[in-house]
């Protein structure tokens, strides 16, 4: 591996380019016409414009990406997250053209990309799954049949989905028709596939995920958990590790369940096995596996000291993992806040524009992953993520205090941001005591503001 095409944009493109540079690898960035002056295009050894602003004509344009990779002499492709990162066809086409795809084999992406099949595979090896349908549901009547033994509320989910798209909570039979139509339409628009399946909707649970890594020889490790329960409309907002709801015995059980799945499917490279956890009972249930690097991977890096992106590049190049489970140590506590160009006062409405002031925080234990600089344009065509602020400290109270100071020092002008939202979360008694769940933002935090 000598030259890598970075098939993405934004902060993850910057992150991959810096990891490649650390390993002495050359990089080729791609961009749309909206991103010609973006930071990632300046950091790479070379940048190629591959299409107009619409992602379908640029960052999702497989022929353009392959032509660029071959024309610039790349021998590998890193897909980042989002866009084509979990597209088995893209991974397979890369391999057919002699390009190393930095991720798992296409067959594994296909298996785990179908959420219904992923549930079946997990259940087959004894990993508990949320009660629900064992096959896709094509009609409202089929959903109603599934609902009889498991009851309401239900969660309709896109079989090809992720990132909270194509999901609807259904609390009563009367809500089914509209929810089914809405979930199908969103799934079709986001993934080109309207297939849905059903799960029992578990109330007041935690979203806990296990970071894994495996090499081509079958060696695999997990890096502990991340708690991603702070969500809005199934979109993660704040992540931390370790989880306040996970004790050592439970951590070991969840880690072994995740690695059991990794070994069963012949997984390779970086991935994340996601669970929901009932804190009171300690019962956890598999929900899906993301076959890529995660947005929140810096939390694990700060906690374990392992560079996950350079590790996945080495593994993709055929090197052994070089880590055993005993080598993985979680030290202290880490928190990540996603700072988006959105206005919390206007129902988190995205606010594209030009960043006129950009002064991110600095200091011991503070990391900022971003693609933004003063004068940067925030286009309306893509995700609104501006930066991720990550802090690490000796314990959770110290990490919270450090994050408060970091956010207070973060000066942004020209576009709205979610900084005020995060400051509010960090001051809330429920968050300070660890009493949060996946619906807490909507049912407690934002609901209290509306009543006030």
- Distance between alpha carbon 342 and the CA centroid of its chain, in Å? 19
Say whether pTM exceeds 0.85: yes
pLDDT score for 160: 83
Instruction: Indicate the fold that domain 3-102 takes in CATH.
Output: Rossmann fold (3.40.50)
Place of tokens 């940048």: 47
Record the tokens describing residue 365, joined without a space. 């234990």
Distances (CA, A) of 347 to 162, 233, 446, 447: 22, 11, 10, 12
Hey, which bits of 79-166 come out as E strands?
Answer: 100-101, 154-158
Mean pLDDT of the chain: 95
pLDDT for 240 beyond 90: yes
Place of tokens 């005020």: 420
pLDDT score for 191: 82
Q: How far apart are CA 77 and CA 90, in angstroms?
A: 10
pLDDT band at 451 (very low <50, low <70, confident <90, very high): very low
Record the tokens describing residue 122, joined without a space. 């997990």
Q: How far apart are CA 119 and CA 130, in angstroms?
A: 9
Measured between its terminal Cα atoms, the distance across the chain in Å is: 57
Regarding predicted confidence, which is higher, 192 or 408?
408
SS (H, E, C) 222-261: EEEEEEEEEEECCEEEEEEECCCCCCHHHHHHHHHHHHHH
Regarding predicted confidence, which is higher, 191 or 26?
26
How is the chain split among helix, strand and coil, in percent rounded to 5? 40, 25, 35
pLDDT, one tens digit per residue, over 199-235 is 999 989 999 999 999 999 999 999 999 999 999 988 9
The whole-number average pLDDT for the span 170-182 is 96
pLDDT band at 334 (very low <50, low <70, confident <90, very high): very high
- Portion of the chain with pLDDT greater than 90, in percent: 93
β partners of residue 295: none
pLDDT score for 447: 83
Q: Is residue 171 annotated as a catalytic residue, yes or no? A: no
Are 115 and 157 contacting, i.e. CB atoms less than 8 angstroms apart? yes
pLDDT, one tens digit per residue, over 88-141 is 999 999 999 999 999 999 999 999 998 889 999 999 999 999 999 989 999 999
The whole-number average pLDDT for the span 169-196 is 93
CATH 3.30.1490.20 placement within the chain? 131-200
119, 168, 232, 292: the active-site residue:
292
**What residues contact residue 256 under an 8 Å CB cut-off, 6+ apart?**
none
Instruction: Indicate the fold that domain 131-200 takes in CATH.
Output: Dna Ligase; domain 1 (3.30.1490)
Lowest mean pLDDT among 119-123, 374-378, 447-451: 447-451
pLDDT score for 233: 87
At residue 292, the 3 state secondary structure works out as coil
Does a cis peptide bond (omega within 30 degrees of 0) precede residue 242? yes
Count CB atoms within 10 A of the CB of residue 431: 21
pLDDT, one tens digit per residue, over 270-287 is 999 999 999 989 999 999
pLDDT score for 452: 37
Record the tokens describing residue 172, joined without a space. 């009563």
Q: How far apart are CA 64 and CA 49, in angstroms?
A: 9
Distances (CA, A) of 251 to 225, 230, 374: 7, 20, 42
Place of tokens 């929900």: 287
Does a cis peptide bond (omega within 30 degrees of 0) precede residue 153? yes
pLDDT score for 449: 61
pLDDT for 450 beyond 70: no
CATH 3.30.470.20 placement within the chain? 206-451
Q: Which CATH class is domain 206-451?
A: alpha beta
Q: How far apart are CA 427 and CA 401, in angstroms?
A: 10
Q: How far apart are CA 49 and CA 36, in angstroms?
A: 7
pLDDT band at 11 (very low <50, low <70, confident <90, very high): very high
pLDDT score for 152: 95
pLDDT score for 294: 97
pLDDT for 20 beyond 90: yes
Burial of 164 (0-12, 13-18, 19+ CB in 10 A): middle
Closest CA relative to residue 415, chosen from 361, 339, 351, 358:
351
The values of phi and psi at residue 126, to 5°, are: 90, 10
Beta strands 3-6 and 26-32 are: parallel
**What residues contact residue 144 under an 8 Å CB cut-off, 6+ apart?**
173, 176
pLDDT, one tens digit per residue, over 29-43 is 999 999 999 999 999
The values of phi and psi at residue 235, to 5°, are: -100, 125
């Amino acid at each position: 591996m000598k030259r890598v095409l970075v098939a993405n944009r934004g902060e993850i493109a910057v992150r991959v380019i810096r990891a490649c540079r650390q390993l002495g690898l050359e990089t080729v960035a791609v961009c749309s016409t909206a991103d010609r002056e973006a930071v990632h295009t300046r950091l790479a050894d070379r940048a190629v414009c591959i299409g107009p602003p619409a992602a379908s004509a640029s960052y999702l344009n497989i022929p353009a990406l392959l032509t660029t990779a071959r024309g610039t002499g790349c021998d590998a492709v890193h897909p980042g997250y989002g866009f084509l990162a979990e597209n088995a066809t893209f991974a397979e086409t890369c391999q057919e053209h002699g390009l190393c795809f930095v991720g798992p084999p296409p067959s594994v992406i296909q298996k785990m990309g179908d959420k219904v099949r992923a549930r079946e595979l997990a259940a087959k090896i004894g990993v508990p799954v949320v009660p629900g349908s064992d096959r896709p549901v094509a009609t409202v009547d089929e959903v109603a049949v599934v609902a009889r033994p498991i009851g309401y509320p239900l969660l309709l989910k896109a079989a090809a989905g992720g990132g909270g798209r194509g999901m609807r909570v259904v609390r009563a039979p009367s809500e089914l028709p509209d929810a089914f139509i809405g979930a199908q339409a969103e799934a079709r628009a986001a993934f080109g596939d309207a297939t849905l399946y059903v799960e029992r909707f578990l109330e007041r649970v935690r979203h806990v995920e296990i970071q894994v890594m495996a090499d081509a020889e079958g060696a695999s490790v997990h890096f502990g958990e991340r708690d991603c329960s702070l969500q809005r409309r199934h979109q993660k907002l704040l992540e931390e590790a370790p989880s306040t709801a996970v004790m050592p015995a439970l951590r070991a059980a969840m880690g072994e369940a995740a690695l059991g799945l990794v070994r069963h499917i012949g997984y390779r490279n970086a991935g994340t096995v996601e669970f929901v956890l009932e804190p009171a009972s300690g019962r956890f249930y598999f929900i899906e596996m993301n076959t890529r690097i995660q947005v929140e991977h810096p939390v694990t890096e700060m906690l374990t000291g392992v560079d996950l992106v350079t590790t996945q590049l080495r593994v993709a190049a055929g090197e052994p993992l070089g880590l055993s489970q005993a080598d993985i140590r979680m030290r202290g506590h880490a928190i990540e806040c996603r700072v988006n160009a959105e206005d919390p006062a206007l129902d988190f409405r995205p606010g594209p524009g030009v960043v006129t002031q950009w002064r991110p925080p600095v200091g011991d234990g503070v990391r900022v992953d971003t693609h933004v600089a003063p004068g940067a344009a925030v286009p309306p065509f893509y995700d609104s993520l501006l930066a991720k602020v990550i802090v690490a400290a000796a314990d959770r109270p110290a990490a919270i205090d450090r994050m408060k100071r970091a956010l207070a020092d973060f000066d942004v002008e020209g576009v709205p941001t979610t900084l005020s939202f995060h400051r509010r979360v960090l001051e809330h008694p429920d968050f300070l005591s660890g009493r949060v769940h996946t619906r807490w933002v909507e049912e407690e935090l934002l609901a209290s503001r509306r009543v006030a």
